[in-house]
């Protein structure tokens, strides 16, 4: 059953009437632009066709009562008594969004409803941002304030940073809020300006989950970040976003070998990400695939955030004739890769890559062919 039907039916079973609103917000995959966000650079995600759904109706007592089908849990909280939970669980995403929206001055009304989704949880496809933006939509439906996608993204990012204690950039929330059908969203992480470009006609995006999860990621992440900041300081610039590849190559001998590699990844990745917009506008799937392949090599060899499993699944993908290009996606050290493939071959490609990867590594992968979908929206409103 689709999550849309699940939440609708469960709502009816629970409350003995149809839901007043049904909302959804998608997960995401980043096509290119990795480890660029904290360097004030560019990222280029698309919203996937898997989402978190909520069926709900308003309440008049300033309370939220939510049933999570996926967590098999039912919980409530009072909007006037928001408490940071001792342990982060699914409800913390709802209390966090409520807290953040109120901090920003939104007057909120309570609601009750049913939550479920088909974004794989904890796979790096941002089921967390999907839940946050779905919650923001739920509050918007019953409270009646205006929906501004960028503003909602910022509010949800703040919830994740300051309420849940997860140090994430703006990408996940922005794409879940502002995704466009069949298009990817280029985000300038400095100005937060966005623009879109079409996915090449006849090409499909396949997400390849290695089945491995990142370990030690926090310390590695902090180290990369510090190296990038040190390189920027050396060049006397605010962030690595502010130097072009040509100038960098001329001055590269000034840096020690490790910093050279780290900075080269970020600077070249920003250029690739901007080139990706051009080739997408030109409808050139082969050129986009090539940029993705180069991105992976840079992440693997210069930034050193790939893993044996990620390299293996990317190699399996690139070995297929139908593949334009593949790369690791997300922070690295495990999780998912993303491939651009001929749309007609996407099913056969997925089966072949899954079999070859499993034979090579013994890991159980999961593959998802995904269209680019719309961002958070109200799908149904009664009356
Ligand atoms: P991801 O990479 O999927 O974003 P996170 O660890 O950041 O992984 O977020 C996963 C958490 O978000 C889950 O542990 C759960 O608390 C919450 N969550 C995500 N999707 C759902 C859902 N459909 N129902 C309930 N909670 C969810
Ligand atoms: Mg997350």
Span 138-165, pLDDT tens digits:
999 999 999 999 999 999 999 999 999 9
CB-proximal residues (5 Å) to ion ligand 2: 126, 128
Would you call 359 helix, strand, or coil by DSSP? helix
Would you call 362 helix, strand, or coil by DSSP? coil
128 close to ligand 1 (CB < 6 Angstrom) = yes
Burial pattern 333-362, b for ≥16 Cβ within 10 A else e, equals bbbbbbbbbbbebbeebbebbbebbbeebe
* HSE (side-chain half, CA atoms, 13 Å) at 232: 19
User: Distance (Å, rounded) from C-alpha 158 to C-alpha 135?
Assistant: 14
DSSP-assigned states of every residue in 152-221: HHHHHHHIIIIIS-----SHHHHHHHH-BTTEEEEEETTT--EEEEEPPTTEEEEEEE-S----SHHHHH
Read off the pLDDT of each residue in 182-203 and give the average, rounded to a whole number: 97
Ligand 1 center from residue 130 Cα (angstroms) = 8
Q: Pick 203-370's CATH classification: 1.10.8.590, 3.30.70.890, 3.20.20.70, 1.10.287.110.
A: 3.30.70.890
Q: Where are the beta strands (DSSP E) in the chain?
A: 21-32, 42-59, 63-68, 73-78, 110-117, 183-188, 194-198, 203-209, 323-328, 336-342, 366-370, 377-381
Where exactly are the structural domains of the chain?
Answer: 3-33+43-189, 203-370
Q: Provide the whole-model pTM.
A: 0.97
> For this structure, is 315 an active site residue?
no
Of 159, 228, 186, 179, the closest CA to residue 51 belongs to 179
Ligand 2 center from residue 171 Cα (angstroms) = 11
Of 198, 206, 228, the closest CA to residue 337 belongs to 206
Ligand 2 center from residue 380 Cα (angstroms) = 26
pLDDT of residue 167: 84
115 close to ligand 1 (CB < 6 Angstrom) = yes
Closest ligand (CA of 88): 1
Span 275-292, pLDDT tens digits:
999 999 999 999 999 999
pLDDT of residue 361: 98
Ligand 2 center from residue 345 Cα (angstroms) = 30
Rg, the chain, Cα only:
21
131 close to ligand 1 (CB < 6 Angstrom) = yes
52 close to ligand 1 (CB < 6 Angstrom) = yes
User: Distance (Å, rounded) from C-alpha 295 to C-alpha 279?
Assistant: 15
69 close to ligand 1 (CB < 6 Angstrom) = no
Q: Whose Cα sits closest to atom 4 in ligand 1?
A: 126
User: What's the mean per-residue pLDDT of the chain?
Assistant: 97
User: Distance (Å, rounded) from C-alpha 138 to C-alpha 230?
Assistant: 43
30 close to ligand 1 (CB < 6 Angstrom) = no
Span 233-265, pLDDT tens digits:
999 999 999 999 999 999 999 999 999 999 999
- CA–centroid distance for 174 within its chain: 9
Span 355-378, pLDDT tens digits:
999 999 999 999 999 999 999 999
Query: For residue 383, what pLDDT band results from cuts at 50, 70 and 90?
Result: confident
Q: Whose Cα sits closest to atom 11 in ligand 1?
A: 128
Q: Whose Cα sits closest to atom 12 in ligand 1?
A: 128
Of the candidates 37, 40, 49, 172, the residue annotated as catalytic is 172
3-33+43-189: CATH class:
alpha beta
Q: Whose Cα sits closest to atom 7 in ligand 1?
A: 128
pLDDT of residue 216: 66
For the record, the structure tokens of 242 come out as 């502010």
User: Distance (Å, rounded) from C-alpha 177 to C-alpha 136?
Assistant: 10
């Amino acid at each position: 059953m689709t999550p849309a039907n699940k939440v609708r039916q469960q709502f009816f079973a629970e409350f003995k009437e149809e839901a007043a609103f049904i909302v959804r917000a998608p997960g995401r995959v980043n096509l290119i632009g990795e480890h660029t966000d904290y360097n004030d650079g560019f990222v280029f995600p698309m919203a996937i066709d898997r989402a978190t759904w909520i069926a709900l109706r308003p309440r008049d007592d300033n309370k939220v009562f939510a049933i999570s089908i996926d967590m098999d849990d039912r919980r409530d909280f009072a909007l006037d008594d928001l408490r940071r939970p001792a342990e982060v669980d699914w409800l913390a995403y709802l209390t966090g969004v409520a807290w953040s929206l109120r901090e920003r001055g939104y007057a909120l009304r309570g609601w009750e409803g049913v939550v479920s989704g088909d974004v794989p949880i904890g796979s790096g496809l941002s089921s967390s941002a999907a839940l946050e933006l779905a919650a923001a939509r739920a509050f918007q439906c019953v409270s009646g304030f205006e929906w501004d996608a960028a503003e909602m993204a910022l509010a949800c990012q703040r919830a994740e940073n300051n309420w849940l204690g997860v140090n994430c950039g703006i990408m996940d929330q922005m794409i879940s809020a502002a995704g466009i059908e069949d298009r990817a969203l280029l985000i300038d992480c400095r100005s937060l300006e966005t623009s879109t470009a079409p996915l090449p006609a006849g090409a499909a995006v396949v997400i390849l989950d290695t089945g491995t999860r990142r370990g030690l990621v926090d310390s590695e992440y902090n180290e990369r970040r510090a190296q990038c900041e040190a390189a920027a300081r050396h060049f006397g610039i605010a962030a690595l976003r502010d130097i072009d590849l040509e100038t960098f190559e001329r001055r590269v001998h000034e840096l020690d070998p490790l910093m050279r590699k780290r900075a080269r990844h970020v600077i070249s990745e920003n250029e690739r990400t901007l080139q990706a917009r051009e080739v997408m506008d030109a409808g050139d799937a082969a050129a986009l695939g090539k940029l993705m392949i180069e991105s992976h090599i840079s992440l693997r060899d210069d930034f050193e955030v790939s893993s044996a499993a990620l390299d293996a699944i990317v190699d399996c993908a690139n070995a297929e004739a139908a593949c334009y290009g593949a790369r690791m996606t997300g922070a690295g050290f495990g999780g998912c890769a993303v491939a651009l493939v001929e749309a007609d071959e996407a099913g056969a490609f997925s089966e072949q890559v899954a079999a070859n990867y499993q034979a090579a590594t013994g890991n159980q992968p999961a593959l998802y062919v995904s269209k680019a979908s719309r961002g958070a929206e109200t799908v149904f409103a009664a009356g």
